[in-house]
């Protein structure tokens, strides 16, 4: 009986059609075992867009004696940067004091490049903002090296690269898998929308409302994250994860053709991953 059962399972696995995706690159693994479930140009280096911010959050959350309630004053430099680069924004207001925890929501839900800048400025070291940002990006690269990733390099804190900001579907999945070990990270990336209380310049308060750009949340059963990305060079990217019946699959698609295509790609790959 046992042998028959094993043969049946093997036959099912053999007839499971490998999905076709619009994305140029893709990778999926079983997050519990690390077993590879799907690859498509999984080790080809590509621009990553805002999926870069997974590493931004990971570096922040790895800081020693991190105080998530510490306040960061929003500088004009952050809003100027958004305007200059026509970048995605958490609409942070100059002079507001925003907690590190709230900045992580602003980073990961609306994909705020202003929030990314604020965090890099806060957690880099140096006497000038430029030095602090450079130091923070250095920490991002060290974190990638510590994970043993050979095909990842960051030259930005948010994915607006200067020509050498790249990763691969396999590497990005490994970064996300590592980040998901942190409970704060997990809580943030599975949040569909949030209202965060911030202190205004005058000492009052306001609420910032942010919605998650990851539409898998609430539309795909078991979805628990992770992060969208896009850009002229990156195309449409998505790092995704879902849990069903105690099994978590996690993966990445890079350079898909549209917002709807990257979502469709991710759903196909997760469906496939759960059946394997």
Q: What is the pLDDT of residues 14-43, one digit of tens each?
A: 578 999 999 999 999 999 999 999 999 999
Q: Is 53 a catalytic residue?
A: yes
Can 111 be counted among the known catalytic residues? yes
Determine what percent of the chain is predicted with pLDDT higher than 70. 95
* Residue 127 pLDDT: 97
Identify how many contiguous H helices and E strands the chain contains and give both numbers.
Answer: 9, 11
Residue 2: predicted pLDDT: 46
Percent above pLDDT 90 for the chain: 93
Please give the average per-residue pLDDT across 218-236, as a whole number: 96
C-alpha closest to that of 123 among 64, 189, 182: 64
Give 237's pLDDT tier (boundaries 50, 70, 90): very high
The candidate with the shortest Cα–Cα distance to 47, out of 136, 164, 140, is: 164
Give the Cβ contact number of residue 71 at 10 Å: 16
| Both tokens assigned to 120 | 């890099």
- The verdict on whether 50 is a catalytic residue reads yes
- Over the stretch 243-262, which tens digit does the pLDDT of each residue have? 999 999 999 999 999 999 99
What is the per-residue pLDDT across 162-181, written as a single tens digit (0 to 9) for each? Answer: 889 999 999 999 999 999 99
**Which residue in 40, 53, 255, 268 is the catalytic one?**
53
* CA separation for the pair 24, 16 (Å, rounded): 22
Report whether pLDDT(147) > 50: yes
Higher pLDDT, 162 or 186: 186
d(CA 33, CA 30): 6
Q: What is the pLDDT of residue 254?
A: 98
**pLDDT value, residue 163:** 87
User: Which candidate in 47, 99, 102, 111 is catalytic?
Assistant: 111
Q: What is the pLDDT of residue 1?
A: 44
* Contact present, 193 and 69 (Cβ < 8 Å): no
Which of 40, 47, 50, 178 is labelled catalytic? 50
Q: What is the pLDDT of residue 162?
A: 86
> Do the beta carbons of residue 217 and residue 190 sit within 8 Å?
yes
| Mean pLDDT of all residues in 184-191 | 98
Q: Which tens digit of pLDDT belongs to each residue from 86-95?
A: 999 999 999 9
């Amino acid at each position: 009986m046992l042998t028959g059962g094993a043969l049946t399972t093997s036959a099912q696995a053999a007839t499971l059609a490998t999905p076709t995706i619009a994305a140029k690159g893709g990778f999926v693994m079983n997050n519990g075992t690390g077993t590879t479930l799907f690859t498509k140009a999984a080790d080809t280096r590509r621009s990553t867009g805002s999926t870069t911010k997974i590493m931004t959050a990971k570096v922040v959350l790895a800081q020693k004696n991190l105080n998530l309630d510490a306040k960061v004053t929003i500088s004009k430099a952050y809003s100027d940067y958004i305007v200059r680069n026509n970048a995605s924004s958490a609409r942070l207001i100059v002079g507001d004091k925003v907690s590190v925890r709230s900045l992580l929501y602003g980073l990961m839900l609306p994909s705020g490049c202003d929030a990314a800048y604020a965090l890099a400025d806060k957690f880099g070291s140096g006497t000038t903002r430029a030095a602090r940002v450079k130091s923070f990006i250095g920490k991002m690269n060290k974190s990638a090296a510590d994970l043993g990733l050979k095909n990842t390099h960051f030259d930005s804190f948010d994915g607006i690269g200067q020509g050498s900001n790249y990763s691969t579907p396999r590497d990005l999945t490994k970064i996300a898998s590592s980040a998901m070990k942190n409970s704060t990270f997990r809580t943030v990336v599975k949040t569909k929308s949030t209202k965060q209380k911030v202190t205004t310049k005058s000492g009052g308060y306001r609420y910032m409302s942010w919605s998650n750009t990851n539409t898998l949340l609430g539309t795909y059963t078991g979805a628990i994250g992770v992060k969208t990305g896009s850009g002229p060079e990156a195309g449409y990217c998505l790092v995704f994860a879902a849990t069903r019946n105690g099994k978590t699959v996690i993966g990445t698609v890079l350079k898909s053709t549209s917002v709807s295509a990257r979502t469709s790609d991710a759903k196909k790959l997760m469906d496939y991953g759960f059946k394997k």
